[in-house]
Amino acid sequence: MQSRVKTQILYCLGLVSLLGTASAQQIDLNQQSWSAEVIRPNGQALIPLYDGWYPNKDGSKSICFGYFNMNTEESFDIPIGEDNYLETDYPGLDLSNANVPTHFDVLPRAYRHVFCSFTVNVPEGFNSTHRVTWHISSNRFDLSTPGKVIAPYVLDEPASDGRGDIAPVVKLSPNDEGVRGRTGIHTSNTVSARVGESVQLQAWIDHSDEEVWVGWSHHSGAGKVEFDNKEYEIQTINGVAEVQATFSEPGEYVVRMQTIDTIAAFEFYCCHTNAYFHINVSN
């Protein structure tokens, strides 16, 4: 296990640009002897990750970003602004409505890296010389990762012929056509909720496997979100994934649901589906 963690940490750090320096209480990256000890309860960095890209039928491309929280007990809430933002060198590309997360869960025990938490759609003219860069500052580390559309980083989407795998279809109502893949699906209408009162969120999932994994996460919104069952497997013969979510403060929230046949498949970078629930919470 230690060797596996060490490999993944080295990979993660290879994808970011370290713009700041560590304090005395943190790891000196110039002198660190790498081991699993870089994963700590708190005080470590949140690492933004470029997971790859895939082409779309209309000629545009989608760039995938995920993250790696090196803390087992410290989550982060980083609003859009100078500590959490996207920038690009592609003229005229509007990133103001990008679905950038502002809440970052603690390190997941089973799969560590949070894969492709959001995508950025770029036009057909966006080529290998262009970049969309995600900047994150946390615990005095200023990190960034450039998203690009170069051949070595192209992702199988939404299926992998080599592995014979395919992302689940997700519907947000029983009669929807459904969506498969990382670009995902968004609620067509905002869900209404009240502070301190649970609201039920549901998705209908279809896959050829008998069982799939489902995970729910607080994607964005200023308060705290609690789930009655954050991660679990469901039988696809029933096909309904649901959770009770409770919000601590009023405001606009996004809850992210991810589903994949098994979490082990995340490491092959295929094939999962994202769903985003937009929720308005009032007093």
What's the sign of the alpha-carbon dihedral 245, 68, 80, 86? negative
Kindly report, as residue ranges, where domains of CATH 2.60.40.10 are found in the chain. 159-282
Task: Return the minimum-mean-pLDDT range out of 1-15, 23-37, 114-128, 260-274.
Answer: 1-15
Distances (CA, A) of 111 to 69, 184, 276: 12, 20, 20
pLDDT higher than threshold 50 for residue 6: no
- Mean pLDDT value of segment 268-281: 96
Contact status, residue 231 vs residue 280, Cβ threshold 8 Å: no
Q: What's the pLDDT tens digit per position in 169-196? A: 999 999 899 999 999 999 999 999 999 9
Does domain 159-282 fall into CATH 2.102.10.10? no
**Are 219 and 185 in contact, with CB atoms under 8 Å apart?**
no
